[in-house]
Structure 1
Amino acid sequence: MAKSAIDKDLKRVDQLKAATRDSSRAMAAPGLALIFLLATLTWAIFTASGSPLSYLVMIATVIAAYMALNIGANDVANNMGPAVGARALTMGGALAIAAICEAGGALLAGGDVVSTISRSIITPETTLGTTAFIMIMMAALLSSALWVNLATLLGAPVSTTHSVVGGVVGSGIAAAGFGAIIWPTMGKIAASWVISPVLGGVMAAALLALVNATILFKPNKVDAARIWVPVLVALMSGVFAMYMAMKGLKRVWSFEPHEVLFLGLVLAGVGWALTIPWVRGRTGRMENTNKQVGTLFRVPLIFATALLSFAHGANDVANAVGPLAAIVAAVGNGAAISDGAVTLPIWVLAIGALGIALGLALFGPRLIRTVGEQITKLNEIRGYCVALAAAITVLIASALGLPVSSTHIAIGAVFGVGFLREGFSNRGIRNKAVSPEGVFLKTSHLNKTPEEAVSNFQKRQRRYLVRRQHAFSIGAAWVITVPASALLSAALYFAMSALFGF
């Protein structure tokens, strides 16, 4: 009895410490973010001098830094959430790994040249002056940053790419009218709202069903794990080798399709060969339980999380600094960028990398908890399925030319494993609904008493293992991201044009 009371007191102390730590971070984070923004402004002042429009570069630099902070706060949660929710990583460990991998991906594989997002949205026939082009980019960048910031405060993971796209659409319409927009591109983006989460959810559910059938539902789980865990790690190794070749390293090294496939097969074989002795050593005295077998997926999940973060840093840093690079090039050339490709100065790339890492460390934990803990309960196996499903889905979609969002895929994968787990948990319970008084509303077991029906209904209610309200709130945030950022961007374009007298 005394021990139980002590345990409760210690738990309260731990909760108090956690609350104090979160409160301290909440108070310190805005100040540190402001210091970072001021530092980027100072750097831009010394770097961007020498042109009549250099003051616009200074302003755009601060906006890009602000956008990078928001990308780190919101987008990175999709990669880190499953590992934290599965308890494979602590929050501190996840933040450290993500910060290093995101910054490393941005700096090492971010590339020397980026394609401005306006190239695929604004028609080539549209004639834009230098100042109009700069205003479009600045308004798009600021509106997307503000929208992502609001979504983070509301606890909704959204696509930063879609936010930037919406920003360019809004400011592009404000500058040149509706005819300036390539509307088929917007149709593809709208299609991705459905395609991305569905593909991610189906793939993650299929992977979890495979693990269940080959390992978890077997009488001797340990023996099954000795056979199938190396196979699953080989699959992961091959998939991530191809994923890194196609997505993570595409800006610094262009692979041919046959080279990507060969690399995947080679790394799959290496992963399988290295995992066999490791699994045998870990399973020597392992208990025949799902929990014990699940520990074999912890290390693969951590590696998958790190690789996803590296690829994300390499790809999505352009969302933060691509418009800034376009503005720097336009100011330097004295003309709008018409070919869609601009050089990415190292100082611009560094701002994006540092901003993403800092935004993750300061503001990321809230969204990480939402993705990893508040949608459905994750463990090492489910987290592994989510991470692997995200990579496989992106590869398949890229090969088929389907428009997808990595953010939507990752969230869809979390829902996918949750709904599959819920389906397995509810097998055998057929009653649909019973009133509190025991009156049947609909049932397939007419021979059950009202008391038994009520009991089954209550059991079914307890087995809703996915929080539906998150599906609706996140889905709503996805749908309104493009129009919300577009409207905000249009308003900002007019305000900036009036402010600067253009």
Structure 2
Amino acid sequence: MTIGLVAVVVLIALVFTYINGFHDTANSIATVVATKVLSPGQAVLLAAVTNMIGALWGTAVAATIAAGIVNTGVIEAGPQLLVCALLAAIVWNLITWWLGLPSSSSHALVGALVGAAIAGSGGRFDSVIWSQGGVHWWLGNGVIPKVVVPMVISPFMGFLIGFVLMGALYALLSWFSRRQGFLHRFGRTPFVNSFFGKAQIASASAMGLAHGMNDAQKSMGIIALALAGATAAGQFDHLPDWLHFLRINESAAGGFVVPAWVAVVCALTMAGGTAGGGWRIIKTLGHKMVKLHPINGFAAEGSSAIVILVASAFGLPVSTTHVVSSSIMGVGTAKRSNAIRWSVVQRMVWAWILTLPITALIAYGFVRLAQGLI
């Protein structure tokens, strides 16, 4: 991998991160804006700070993207595959962003990596790590345990936790409203809106932290993979001392240590993307799907943060979009089943289902096109 190609990969990875910012980070602040607890500007600032902290807090997801999805030998043999994969993910993200559909940037990236690896290896499906053993399935590597299984489980858990949490809060407020004297005020609407308006700032912060821990790390993994490949190929051997921060060596365990500067750059780029155009997705999640009040926003953000933080701890690159959307559905269903605009949900589900195969096909086509031009 030449230095020039490394620079291209890093640049496109940052473009993907920026697009991820206005495509996915909007999910983490949609509810706090929709409930009017924070203005869009305040929410973006909060998301930027918490995403930064989250991005610097562990690198388990980055390690999964860098070494747990496709065989690194395929990437080293055809480094242009990373460029094609990133471009495919960007194309799909832009299409769904334009349509206002909260599809998954995470699954777009994984699908694109899979398609690029298969194309780059001449159609060999073993170029993809489908499942690599561990003591437990969540400790193994591969597309099935790290992507497919969490893709199914995480939205269900988001829905379930959102439904249960919202139901518990409604039951608690109902109990307060039936009390006499001092306790009765805790069940009154003005107090509830005021209290959960403040509480939602905390839940939105947790959601931003969770988003940084998961989504920002995906681009970090791509950049780490590119830098590690160039380091292994000796492309950085003759760099001046002040550029040695670009070198990434494989660890004894076979993974990559992601430098702090990569995390910081990715987090800042994602924050910039959030400010650049997340309102389309915010409108779909925060307004079109179900009408939200501060208590609903708190429950949705809290349940989403729980699922994503747990997934991040295990290095599972789950979709923030899926989890937030399903949490909002769970919260809305607890309110009443017809509170959900199911026509909007149907469009979102189709976008979820199609993301992996379509991005894989786009990346496959890009790689084949690149091979024909080289």
TM-score relative to the length of structure 1: 0.62
For 1:387, which of 284, 293, 301 is the aligned residue?
301
Change over 3 Å in CA distance of 1:420–1:314 after alignment to 2: closer
2:139 is aligned to none
In the alignment, which residue of structure 2 is the partner of 1:319?
218
Aligned twin of 1:306: 205
Name which of structure 1's ranges 334-343 and 310-319 shifts more when overlaid on structure 2.
334-343
The separation in 1 between residues aligned to 2:49 and 2:58, in whole angstroms, is: 14
The equivalent of 2:34 in structure 1 is 85
Query: 1: CA distance between counterparts of 2:61 and 2:161?
Result: 33
> What is the aligned counterpart of 1:475 among 349, 357, 362?
349
Task: Please give the per-residue CA displacement for 1:368-387, whole angstroms capped at 9, x wherever unaligned.
Answer: 22211111011111111111
* Alignment correspondent of 1:56: 5
Residue matched to 1:497: 371
Match of 2:76 among 123, 127, 130: 130
Report if the CA contact (8 A) 1:165-1:482 is conserved: yes
For structure 1, the residue ranges without an aligned partner over 5 or more in a row are 1-51, 226-282, 424-463
Give 1:479 deviation, angstroms: 0.7
Task: Pick one of 268, 278, 282 that aligns with 1:364.
Answer: 278
Q: Which one-letter code corresponds to 1:135 in the other structure?
A: Q
Match for residue 361 of structure 2? 487
495 and 337 in structure 1: CA distance in 2 versus 1, 3 angstrom threshold: farther
Q: Name which of 329, 332, 351 aligns with 2:231.
A: 332
In 2: Cα distance, 1:148 partner to 1:414 partner: 21
- The answer for the alignment partner of 1:418 in structure 2 is 332
Deviations 1:267-321 (A, max 9, x none): xxxxxxxxxxxxxxxx6xx8x6324323211112101211221232233222223
CA 1:470 to 1:192, structure 2 compared with 1: closer, same or farther past 3 Å? farther
3-state SS in 2 of match to 1:76: helix
Deviation (angstroms), 1:78: 2.0
Alpha-carbon separation, structure 2, partners of 1:129 and 1:299: 47
Instruction: Check 1:180–1:333 CA distance in 2 against 1; reply closer, same or farther (3 A cut).
Output: closer
How far 1:121 sits from its partner (Å)?
A: 2.5
- Indicate the residue corresponding to 2:128 in structure 1: 181
Aligned counterpart for 1:219 among listed residues 178, 181, 189: 178
Q: Is the 8 A contact 2:158 2:323 kept in 1?
A: yes
Q: Distance in 2 between matches of 1:87 and 1:207?
A: 21
Q: 1:404 to 1:333 in 2, by over 3 A?
A: closer
1:139 aligned residue: 84
User: May I ask how many residue pairs the two structures share in their alignment?
Assistant: 345
Secondary structure of the equivalent of 1:182?
A: coil
Report how far residue 348 of structure 1 moved.
3.3
Encode CA deviations 1:235-262: one digit per residue, 9 max, x unaligned.
xxxxxxxxxxxxxxxxxxxxxxxxxxxx
If asked which structure has higher relative contact order (CA below 8 Å, sep 6+), I would say 2
Structure 1 residues 402, 58: closer, same or farther in 2, change over 3 A?
closer
- Runs of 5+ in structure 2 lacking a partner? 132-141, 235-248
Distance change >3 Å, CA 204–CA 129, structure 1 → 2: closer
Residues 62 and 471 (structure 1), Cα distance of their counterparts in 2 relative to 1, 3 Å cut: same
1:210 aligns with 2:168: yes
Which entry has the higher C-alpha Rg, 1 or 2?
1
Q: Is the 8 A contact 1:79 1:305 kept in 2?
A: yes
Deviations 1:44-97 (A, max 9, x none): xxxxxxxx8111022112211210111111111221111112221122211121
The answer as to whether partners of 1:110 and 1:349 remain within 8 angstroms in 2 is no
Q: Structure 1 residues 209, 221: CA separation in 2 closer, same or farther (over 3 Å shift)?
A: farther
Return the offset for 1:174: 0.5
Q: Is the alpha carbon distance of 1:467 and 1:389 closer, same or farther for their aligned partners in structure 2, counting shifts above 3 Å?
A: same
Contact 1:84 1:369 in 2 (8 A): no
Q: Is the 8 A contact 1:114 1:343 kept in 2?
A: no
Q: Would you say the 8 A contact 2:162–2:299 is kept in 1?
A: yes
CA spacing shift, 1:400–1:181, aligned 2, 3 Å: closer
Alignment of 1:9-408 (within 5 A): 53-106=2-55, 108-109=56-57, 114-115=62-63, 117=65, 119-123=67-71, 127-128=73-74, 130-132=76-78, 134-176=79-121, 177-184=124-131, 185-188=142-145, 189-216=147-174, 218-220=177-179, 223-224=182-183, 289-334=188-233, 341-394=255-308, 404-408=318-322
Residue type of the alignment partner of 1:214: L
Q: Classify the secondary structure of the residue corresponding to 2:103.
A: coil
